[in-house]
Chains A and B, each alone.
Chain A
Amino acid sequence: MAAITSDVEVEVRRPRRGVVVGILLVAWVAVYFVLRGIDTLTLGSQETTTLHRWLTDHRDDLGQGNVVFDAIRMTVDQFVVLLQNLLAQPAYGRPVPVIGWLGVVAVAAYLAWAFGNWKVALLTAAGLGFVGLQGLWRESMDTLALTIAAVLLSLLVAIPLGIWAGLSNRAFRVATLVLDLMQTLPTFVYLAPLTLFFAIGPAAATIATLVYAAPPAVRLTAHAIRSVPAESVEAARSLGSTRSQTLTKVLLPMSRSTVVVGINQTIMAALSMVTVAALINAPGLGDTVLKALETLDVGVAFNGGLAIVVLAIVLDRVTTAAGDRPWRTASRRRRILLAAGAAGVLVAVWFSRTYVWAAEFPTSVNIGSRIAVTTSNLTNWVQDVFGGFTYGVRDAVTKGVLNPLEALLTGSPWWLVATVVVALAAVLGRWRGALPAAVCSLLLVATGVWHDSMVTLASTLLATVVVVAVGLVLGVWAGRNRRVDTWIRPVLDAGQTMPPFVYLVPFLALFGTSRFTAIAAAIVFAVPVTTKIVADGIKAVPVATVEAANSVGSSNWQVISKVQLPVARRAITLAVNQGLIYVLSMVVVGGLVGAQALGYDVYAGFTQSELYGKGLAAGLAIVLLGVLLDRVTQAAARRTQRFPRRGDKL
């Protein structure tokens, strides 16, 4: 008995973490009222620090004149220009690209048919026809050319790396480490440092896209090679295959469908990054949307966003169909049809080089302007009718939650915030949390944009709380109910394939330009991934465990709170982590619609040359915030993990 009571006492004496966190926060608020306004490190939007000016002055030193970077830039630029000449821009002394619209549609549909099926071929033709009718043919082709360039370069790098990581354990460990790190970096942050090396333009855009788009292909190729059954490889070896025979005749063919999934993800990532790269002057649809957002022209922005979504859907469906294609070799009938189709495509390409009507997309029917006008009218109508309501919601949330939170973060002395952050990290994740928190806080001060970082942090925290709440509810619902899952999943998939720009448009219509708009867009951007991870985690709870809980008479709520959520804890911490990262990666995009702070700093850095250094520092600050939040949540997750994980050594 004695032993038991003493155990209980030990439990009681150690206060729960929640209580400690609560006390910390209350203490912070109390101190804030005493010390507010001191050491806040405020910096006006046009003001810069010595560091920023130094960076601005040295922007050309690294990139230009450096032989290696110049060579890379020239090569990539030429490659992009070649593709643009082929598809988009007037080239080689002709007023039209090498292949006109008819040829492009024919080639694209043919490829979709050959690698996928006739349904996606029809979809391809219809999709390309639609963006043409929107009056965005050239912009779409620019985007397509950049995407193709980036995807080809990505695969050129990613597939061999993936194979290497698939064959060698050491390479696999290194690759996993690097890719994990790359995934925690907010994507838009690549842009700023890359312009330092490759100057603003297509080369930097392509390389930024490459960095963003290559990881999924590396990961999935390695995964595919590693999951080929050991017996098939052994069988090949036992028959005397050489290493290269094993690779080309066994490993690669058997990895095909998974590699195609990787290529699909690479293409989708490339498309969304290519549109975002409009921030550094990449041509295409992203530029259309960006310009429209700058002038608050919701109609034109929506038209451009719609074209991006159409391209995304076409590319996604075609590559998915290509991955689903079975092993079988084509039947004789299909082979004959394919040959006939190839001839037809050649004829179409010839037409598109010979006749103006087949070269330039006809402008007689332009539904683009009608879409833009309709959207504008609809927006106006919505603002007239619901404006009071939506603006009311916006103002209520801004005044009631966002402003106090922001005031607390920005009004406290920097050392107070840093202390609280480190203390919280220590409580949640011991030294694993505290150490990165301390380092990141100090570096944030060093960037000179501490104040802006705190504004961004306030929005990020608010958005993340909403994302996690919504994601948990939807995820648990979908995880427990198969029908809900089948309905919700395509919506989530669509949400994930849409490039982030597009999210802004409807929110701009509803809420005008404000911090709240950016938060709402970030929430919509991050909810799908959070929901999916939670749903998968809930679904992975063994059926027998749930049945056991039901058999002792648990209510639904008890099953959720006492069985499913605790068992899925690992998935849920991952969902929180990913939600945070996704919210943070919308920061720069949010800067376009009034999010101010870091997002605006980065954007201003791209557009105003004298603010370049500050933009770079702000980009770095976003990375630091990302690393800080990522490390702390990961460390907290590790501590929460009471029972050993699968695969852990016991």
Chain B
Amino acid sequence: MTAQLEYPEVQDSDALLSIQGLWKVFGPKAQRVPHRPDLAALDRAALYTRTGCTAAVRDLSFDVAPGEVFVVMGLSGSGKSTLVRCLTRLIEPTAGSLIFEGEDLRAADEKRLRTLRRSKFSMVFQHFGLLPHRKVIDNVSYGLEIRGESKPDRRRRAQEVIDLVGLAGNEHFYPEQLSGGMQQRVGLARALANDPDVLLFDEPFSALDPLIRREMQNEVVRLHREVGKTMVFVTHDLSEALRLGDRILLMRDGGAVQLGTGDELVGAPADEYVRDFVRDVPRADVLTLRWIVRDARPGEPLDGPEVGPDVLVREATRLVLEADRPVKVVSNGTLLGVIDDEEILAVVADH
């Protein structure tokens, strides 16, 4: 199961959050499933008929680097929402280890866990999870209130994050008086208010209209740039994953199918499932020249224009097609190879 996880490894010492062999099994006597190899090897249907258990998360291992946007993607029922809840033990994992800043989260007691949730982690929910009986500003300052900050302090801090997420002027409305997009901004502000190190997003925008969704995605990109938080982002929307994710973990039936950057998923799908998944992605928007560069053929002219390897295919299309000779791909003065009309068209025209 961990075979796919050989993609760009973050060094252990650098990892902010390190997950090893994580399991979450629902059902009677769930404990035994991860610990018995014969049961652990069963697929979903067989496991259910044998034991009456369902493995929502099975044997996941990955690291999240500081400042990274780590996307967990999969169809509904793939276990991604369970996974993100296991990270702060909102759902208790069945087996495996969770290391955060060198601390074993699974060994933390109730009190320590509360402290961590109050200061290190925050979560944004699909259906917002707001408190309808509180005004926007009181929703945002809820996290500060329960950790016992004084009223002036939490008002000031709440106002800061309200301004940050573009909610200024709505402080004294009640959630039901706001649109869906605005409500999720409240959810975002509430998560930011206690200045966490890690932000967890559970399909935060899938309940929103497509236009609002795009706007909120841009908002997340902007916030990531401005406040530089580490983010774990769960989604079932591939284009969202590709837009936001530094790395993407693709899940299926609780297990990992592939872990890698967006262009790795599109350019080198690990199996048929991933290939199917990324089939409709406009590849030119995702793949960089690195993925299509080829060695120069003997006798080919090498005096064409130069481009870097991390330029998107879409961006290089015009240049390559207009040049009358192959374009050179150069990284730090080294020639990686060349690209001709043929390679470009293979990506742009392919579907």
Contact = CB atoms under 8 A, between A and B. Distances in A.
B310 to A, nearest CB: 36
Interface string B74-96: 00000000000100101000000
| Interface range, B side | 20 to 34
Given A235-B123, A328-B174, A254 B133 contact: yes
B176 to A, nearest CB: 9
Contact of B133 (A238, A242, A253): A253
Interface string B120-162: 0111011111111100000000110111000000000000000
A324 to B, nearest CB: 15
Given A249-B146, A327-B174, A239 B133 contact: no
Given A234-B90, A254-B132, A240 B142 contact: no
Contact of B117 (A240, A249, A256, A327): A240
B184 interface: no
A117 to B, nearest CB: 19
Interface in A297-333: 327-328
B131 A254 contact: yes
Contacts of A238: 88, 90, 117, 121-123, 200
A229 interface: yes
Contact of A241 (B125, B130, B146): B146
A227 to B, nearest CB: 13
A492 B143 CA distance: 47
B18 interface: no
A245 B115 CA distance: 14
Contacts of A242: 114, 146
Interface size class of A (residues with CB under 8 A): 20 to 34
A249 B127 CA distance: 19
A233 B90 CA distance: 11
Contacts of B116: 240
A327 B177 CA distance: 12
B259 to A, nearest CB: 25
A231 B129 contact: yes
B118 interface: yes
Interface in A204-229: 229
B122 A239 contact: yes
Given A238-B90, A239-B122, A253 B131 contact: yes
Contacts of A249: 131, 142, 145-146
A233 B85 CA distance: 13
Contacts of B85: 234
A342 interface: no
B190 interface: yes
Interface string B234-255: 0000000000000000000000
Nearest to B124: A235
B288 interface: no
Contacts of A229: 127, 129
A236 interface: yes
A239 B118 contact: yes
B142 to A, nearest CB: 6
Interface string B179-200: 0000000010010001000001
B136 to A, nearest CB: 13
B294 to A, nearest CB: 49
B129 A234 contact: yes
Given A231-B126, A249-B146, A328-B174, A239 B131 contact: no
Contacts of B113: 240
User: Which of B115, B127, B133, B187 is the most central at the interface, judged by chain A CB atoms within 10 Å of its CB?
Assistant: B133
Contacts of B147: 240
Contacts of B133: 253-254, 256, 327
Given A238-B88, A238-B90, A239-B194, A232 B129 contact: yes
Contacts of B125: 231, 234-235
The CB with the most chain A CB atoms within 10 A, among B128, B129, B142, is that of B129
A256 B119 CA distance: 30
B89 to A, nearest CB: 10
A237 interface: yes
Contacts of B131: 232, 236, 249-250, 253-254
Contacts of B143: 239-240
A249 B138 CA distance: 11
29 contacts: A229-B127, A231-B125, A231-B126, A231-B127, A232-B129, A232-B130, A232-B131, A234-B129, A235-B123, A235-B125, A235-B187, A235-B190, A238-B117, A238-B121, A238-B122, A238-B200, A239-B117, A239-B118, A239-B143, A239-B146, A239-B190, A240-B114, A240-B116, A245-B146, A249-B142, A249-B145, A250-B131, A256-B133, A327-B132
Interface of B: 85, 88, 90, 113-119, 121-123, 125-133, 142-143, 145-147, 174, 187, 190, 194, 200
Given A232-B129, A237-B90, A240-B118, 8 more contacts: A234-B129, A239-B118, A240-B115, A240-B146, A242-B146, A249-B142, A254-B133, A327-B132
Interface of A: 229, 231-242, 245, 249-250, 253-254, 256, 327-328
List the 3 closest pairs (A to B, CB-CB), nearest first: A235-B129, A240-B118, A231-B129
